[in-house]
């Protein structure tokens, strides 16, 4: 049978990233490909106790339908965390989502008509690009330097695309580059958004995982007109399998989000919301985050030292102060050739191509340090360095 798909469905069933992760899943391969938190840090026993207490104290209500905006107690706890980061809000400014991915999808659903422009960092989170494409967005990538998106280029992009609906940014420990945007650029981004009347979607899944340097206030803290939609998640600070995230926005906008969410899944998992709320009431999540920071600080340091030892001199790489990723560039190397060579050396990364909205920079790739034990990091980076040198040599010979 020939199915009559909508325009939102890709014509091809090819899944290059899925294929890469499948190859990287081979147990003999040391994989830096996934964006996975360290599973040994998940507070399994504490969550088990919290779950049992939820069943004992509120089992029937936790297993019942709930409101689309989310559990009031959890929203209250999130509002308190947001206030500590400088974002003024109460529970009516917050809606619970089914992970960050739903926050991105709902924002696109609310704002984007086919042909509308969405401006993104170049490169950026590949799954966000997939969402924006599915709604027919015209995506424009803005180049970055070590301090993130360049503001002069951003203003030019907005000026050149008057149908821009919003700017999508990951300002802290960006995926895939690990870069952080300084406060001055965040302030300038707000000024540009106000000047040209566009929205900003601030994606902040990694902001709490800072292990070096000084905290930088969210873009939302500079917002005086309600044009920033802030989003975050429990995936990196608790566990991704819980699939709970949230948005912070003006109350009138949260009402629109709530209406749109009801058409998708009625509400996010009610039992999981109760469990997280109970966990946060009974345990100090900041103590748990501190443990994550320390482990990631150590692993990033080990990976960076190994990169400096084993990578060729012509390789460039980011120096993150938090989050999960290091971004590397080897000028003049074909990324797919390099990936194939790395697989032969039993090590894997994510090639850079899927992270670009338009013009791709070859020889780029993302490395994850959070999900690998320390000894494997050193071994894997040594293998990767040898593979890079081999790939450079083979291309020079051609």
Task: Compute how many other C-beta atoms are within 10 angstroms of the C-beta atom of residue 25.
Answer: 12
Total structural domains in the chain?
2
Residue 25: its pLDDT value, please? 67
Q: Is residue 50 part of a domain?
A: no
User: What H or E segment, with its residue span, contains residue 203?
Assistant: strand 199-203
The whole-model pTM stands at 0.95
Domain limit, last residue, from 236, 253, 282: 282
Residues of the domain holding 327: 16-43+287-397
Q: Is residue 55 part of a domain?
A: no
If asked whether residues 221 and 369 sit together in one domain, one would say no
Residue 1: its pLDDT value, please? 84
186-238: per-residue pLDDT in tens? 999 999 999 999 999 999 999 999 999 999 999 999 999 999 999 999 999 99
4-47: per-residue pLDDT in tens? 888 777 777 777 667 666 766 678 899 999 889 999 999 999 99
Residue 179: CATH number of its domain:
3.40.640.10
Residue 396: its pLDDT value, please? 45
The DSSP letter of residue 354 is G
Q: Are 153 and 141 in contact (CB under 8 A)?
A: no
Residue 364: CATH number of its domain:
3.90.1150.10
If asked whether residues 236 and 294 sit together in one domain, one would say no
Token pair belonging to 211: 């292990």
Residue 111: its pLDDT value, please? 98
Q: Considering only CA atoms, which of 41, 44, 40, 49 is closest in space to residue 282?
A: 49
Q: Is residue 10 part of a domain?
A: no
Q: Is residue 54 part of a domain?
A: no
Token pair belonging to 183: 């406060």
If asked whether residues 239 and 91 sit together in one domain, one would say yes
How far apart, in Å, are the Cα atoms of 208 and each of 35, 80, 388?
Answer: 16, 14, 33
Q: Is residue 160 part of a domain?
A: yes
Q: Is residue 56 part of a domain?
A: no
Instruction: Specify the residue for token string 């709604």.
Output: 135
Give the sign of the dihedral formed by CA 235, CA 227, CA 213, CA 363: positive
Domain limit, last residue, from 233, 248, 282: 282
Residue 23: its pLDDT value, please? 66
If asked whether residues 85 and 197 sit together in one domain, one would say yes
pLDDT below 50 — which residues of the chain?
396-398
**What ranges make up the beta strands (E) of 295-338?**
316-317, 325-329
Taking the C-alpha atoms of residue 311 and residue 307, their distance in angstroms, rounded to an integer, is 5
Instruction: Specify the residue for token string 């998708």.
Output: 264
Length of the chain: 398
Q: Is residue 6 part of a domain?
A: no
If asked whether residues 169 and 278 sit together in one domain, one would say yes
CB burial of 178-217 (b: ≥16 within 10 Å; e: otherwise) equals bbbbeeebbebbbebbeebebbbbbbbbbbbbbbeeeebb
Domain limit, last residue, from 224, 251, 282: 282
If asked whether residues 298 and 254 sit together in one domain, one would say no
């Amino acid at each position: 049978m020939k199915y009559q798909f909508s325009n939102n469905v890709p014509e091809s069933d090819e899944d290059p990233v899925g294929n890469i992760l499948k190859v990287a899943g081979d147990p003999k391969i040391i994989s830096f490909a996934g964006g996975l938190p360290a599973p040994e840090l998940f507070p399994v026993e504490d969550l088990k106790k919290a779950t049992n207490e939820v069943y004992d104290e509120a089992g029937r209500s936790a297993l019942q339908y709930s409101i689309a905006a989310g559990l009031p107690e959890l929203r209250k706890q999130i509002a308190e965390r947001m206030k500590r980061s400088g974002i003024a809000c109460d529970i009516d400014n917050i809606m619970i989502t089914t992970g960050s991915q739903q926050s991105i999808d709902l924002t696109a659903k609310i704002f984007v008509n086919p042909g509308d422009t969405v401006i993104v960092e170049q490169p950026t989170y590949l799954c966000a690009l997939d969402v924006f494409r599915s709604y027919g967005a015209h995506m424009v990538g803005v180049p970055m330097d070590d301090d993130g998106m360049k503001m002069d280029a951003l203003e030019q992009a907005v000026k050149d695309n008057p149908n821009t609906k919003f700017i999508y940014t990951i300002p802290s420990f960006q995926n895939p580059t690990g870069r952080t945007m300084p406060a001055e650029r965040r302030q300038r981004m707000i000024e540009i958004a106000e000047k040209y009347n566009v929205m900003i979607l601030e994606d902040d899944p990694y902001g709490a995982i800072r292990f070096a340097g000084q905290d930088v206030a969210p873009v939302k803290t500079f917002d005086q007109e309600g044009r920033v939609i802030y989003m975050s998640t429990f995936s990196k600070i608790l566990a991704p399998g819980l699939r709970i995230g949230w948005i912070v926005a003006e109350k009138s906008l949260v009402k629109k989000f709530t209406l749109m969410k009801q058409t998708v899944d009625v509400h996010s998992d009610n039992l999981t919301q109760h469990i997280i709320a109970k966990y946060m009431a009974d345990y100090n999540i900041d103590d748990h985050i501190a443990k994550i920071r320390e482990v990631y600080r150590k692993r990033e340091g080990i990976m960076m030292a190994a990169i400096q030892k084993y990578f060729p001199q012509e390789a460039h790489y980011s120096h993150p102060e938090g989050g999960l990723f290091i971004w590397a560039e080897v000028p003049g190397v074909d990324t797919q050739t390099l990936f194939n060579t790395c697989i032969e050396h039993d090590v894997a990364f994510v090639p850079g191509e899927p992270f670009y909205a338009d013009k791709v920079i070859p020889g780029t790739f993302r490395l994850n340090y959070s999900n690998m034990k320390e000894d494997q990091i050193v071994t894997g980076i040594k293998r990767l360095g040898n593979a890079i040198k081999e790939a450079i040599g083979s291309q020079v010979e051609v």
